[in-house]
Amino acid sequence: MNPINYLRISLIDRCNFRCLYCMPEEAEISYALQEHWLTNEEILTLLQEVFIPLGFSRFRLTGGEPLLRPGLVDLVRAIAQLPGTEDLAMTTNGFHLAAVAEDLYAAGLRRINISLDSLDAAVFDQIIGHRGRSRWQAVWQGIQAAHQVGFDPLKLNVVVIPGVNDHEVLDLAALTRDRAWHVRFIEFMPIGNDALFSDRGWIASEELRQQIRDRWGLTEGRVTGNGPADIFQIPGAKGTLGFISQMSECFCDRCNRMRLSADGWLRPCLLNETGQLDLRTALRTSTPLDELRDRVATLLNLKPEINYKLRESGTTGRYARTMSQIGG
């Protein structure tokens, strides 16, 4: 069992995109009240007094869309400076990244994952549910800005949806041939848009790997902070490819992460609400911090059992909340 040392922190449950795999256009998403969002101070208190003392050292900021969070750069700087923070990363849709990439890097963020599901502006806008002037260019500029300020490895996330962007797998993989980027293909999960999932299904990573192998060959690779991804490389490429295969190869037994939602719920698992803790209410009712630490420690001890049960039951169920709400 891996040590549980990785916390994904959702900074906001809102998003400026409505990706069709994450938030179906027609669906009503219920958002947390803004006064329920953990403040920067509350997040820092939790990290300093609860999570770091319990052995957490790796943090990823996510959402919703984390770049929409007010006071983001100050928060990044404060987390990066906490004694005990060994790794600080962010997952973003990149739309506002060009304007803040430099400030984020200066504040101490070193790793960034940007979602880029298509190289075709029309397909991209269809996926993110946007009409009007295309948003692809702004995201691409965000990626370039992140590259120029030195984020390394720069990771691009692609959720592959049959009949929507699966025809672009080779083009997206080819980005790694002359750039030291890391392109990660994520199997579509039945979380967020059940109707699309039932209609289109998902494509197993091995099928994508076979397409790439047939074209260029594929060898095993390495990348920093690979988490659950299996890493490969096109021979001679500067960059690498990752495959996150949570549908075809459940990796729940290797899971070393917990998730903190924007409104302060700690979840031991993306797909399972067992044991989740309301840390916001606990903080706001002045629960002593050592008691909070004990509650989180108890949940940490339960996690292997939760992981095991999920592995046994598989990850193909249907889930009530979207990744944007939980903090993907």
Q: Which residues bind ligand SAM (CB under 6 A)?
A: 15, 21-22, 62-63, 65, 91-93, 115, 157, 159, 186, 188-189, 191-192, 323-324, 328
Torsion angle defined by CA atoms of residues 298, 303, 309 and 315, in that order, rounded to the nearest 10 degrees: 140
Q: Which does 18 bind (CB under 5 to 8 A by kind): ligand SF4, ligand SAM, none?
A: ligand SF4
Using CB under 6 A, pick the residue from 18, 147, 293, 311 that binds ligand SF4: 18
Kindly indicate which of the ranges 10-18, 43-51, 163-171, 230-238 contains the residues binding ligand SF4, using the contact rule CB under 6 A: 10-18
CB of 129 to ligand SAM, least distance (A): 12
Report the partner that residue 165 touches, choosing among ligand SAM, ligand SF4, none (CB closer than 5 to 8 A by kind). none
Contact of residue 189 among ligand SF4, ligand SAM, none (CB under 5-8 Å per partner type): ligand SAM
- Give residue for tokens 């579509």: 188
CB of 234 to ligand SF4, least distance (A): 26
**Separation of alpha carbons 89 and 154, rounded Å:** 11
Please spell the DSSP secondary structure of 217-259, one letter per residue: --EE---TT-TT-EEEE-TT-SSEEEEE-TTTS--GGG--EEE
Is there binding between residue 11 and ligand SF4 (CB under 6 A)?
A: no
Segment near ligand SF4 (CB under 6 A), from 17-25, 42-50, 215-223, 248-256?
17-25
> In sequence order, what are the residues at sequence separation of 6 or more whose Cβ sits closer than 8 angstroms to the Cβ of residue 188?
21, 159, 160, 161, 197, 200, 201, 202, 203, 247
- Token pair of 27 as six digits: 């669906």
Site string for ligand SF4, 27-66 (x = CB under 6 A): ------------------------------------xxx-
Helix (H) or strand (E) holding 181: strand 181-187
- Of 4, 7, 12, 19, the one binding ligand SF4 by CB under 6 A: 19
Does residue 115 sit in helix, strand or coil? Answer: strand
Q: Choosing among ligand SAM, ligand SF4, none, which partner's interface includes residue 157 (Cβ < 5 to 8 Å by kind)? A: ligand SAM
Site track 135-174 with ligand SF4 (rule: CB under 6 A), x = hit: ----------------------------------------
C-beta of residue 89 within 8 angstroms of C-beta of residue 184 = no
261 belongs to the binding site for ligand SF4 (CB under 6 A): no
In the complex, the smallest distance separating the C-beta of residue 288 from ligand SF4, rounded to whole angstroms, is 35
Q: How far apart are CA 220 and CA 107, in angstroms?
A: 34
Give CA angle at 205 (15, 167), nearest 5°.
70
Strands 6-10 and 111-115: unpaired
Peptide bond into 153 cis (omega under 30): yes
CA–CA distance, 161 with 157 (Å, rounded to integer): 13
Contact of 205 with 244, CB cutoff 8 Å = yes
Say whether residue 188 binds ligand SF4 (CB under 6 A): no
Q: Residue 188 touches which of ligand SF4, ligand SAM, none (CB < 5 to 8 A by kind)?
A: ligand SAM
Burial class (CB in 10 A: 0-12, 13-18, 19+), 56: buried
Which does residue 62 bind out of ligand SAM, ligand SF4, none, counting CB within 5 to 8 angstroms by kind? ligand SAM
Minimum gap (Å) between residue 55 Cβ and ligand SF4 = 28
By beta-carbon proximity to ligand SAM, the closer residue of 94 and 292 is 94
The verdict on 22 binding ligand SF4 (CB under 6 A) reads yes
